[in-house]
Amino acid sequence: MSLIVSSSLLLTSSVGLQPVAARPVVQSTQLETKYDAASDRTTVTLPPLQISGERDEYYSLQMGASFDYSGRTVRTPEFARFEIRSVVKGRKLNPDLYVVLIIDGETIHLSSNRWAVKNPVPGRRMIGEQIVMRMPYQTLLKLAKAKQAAIRMGGTSFDLSDTHRKGLRALAEKAKP
């Protein structure tokens, strides 16, 4: 199972590494469902939603989420993929960045993979970062149902709006057979 999840994360994480300026972000909670006949896998994606514009050391922050299952029949996943895309003012990332979710006052840390994205805004001296977390489905449900939720990155917290939680609720509901 972990091999399938790992290869799925690698396959889907290679999508969307284009510069932020080339990737229009529409605040739509419309889910995308794609079936890949070659791998016999279906992926359900909540496209990136803008969380914040310029704030503290960040130029922008987006979140997205997805899950996949084998075949075409919906199956509740054990894990979802929760992704954060940030653009940092300047040319350095914080090597000690600690990302946590705050869900109705509870702090939740998820393991993550992260990597830098060079030149996310062409012509500007900035660097981007893509952070992918393996989120248990139960945590996705908790996040989707939350009255208040935020992402804390280092010393900066970003509240998730009703639109963000609506998109996550739609994704969590889609995972029910």
pLDDT digits (tens, 9 = 90+) for 26-55: 567 899 999 999 999 999 999 999 999 998
What residues have CB less than 8 Å from 6, skipping those under 6 apart? Answer: none
Full-model pTM: 0.80
For residues 51, 55, 59, 62, the Cα torsion angle rounded to the nearest 10 degrees is: -10
pLDDT of residue 7: 36
Average the pLDDT over each of 72-76, 82-86, 87-91, 103-107 and give the range with the smallest value.
87-91
pLDDT of residue 95: 59
Instruction: Say whether pLDDT at 12 is over 70.
Output: no
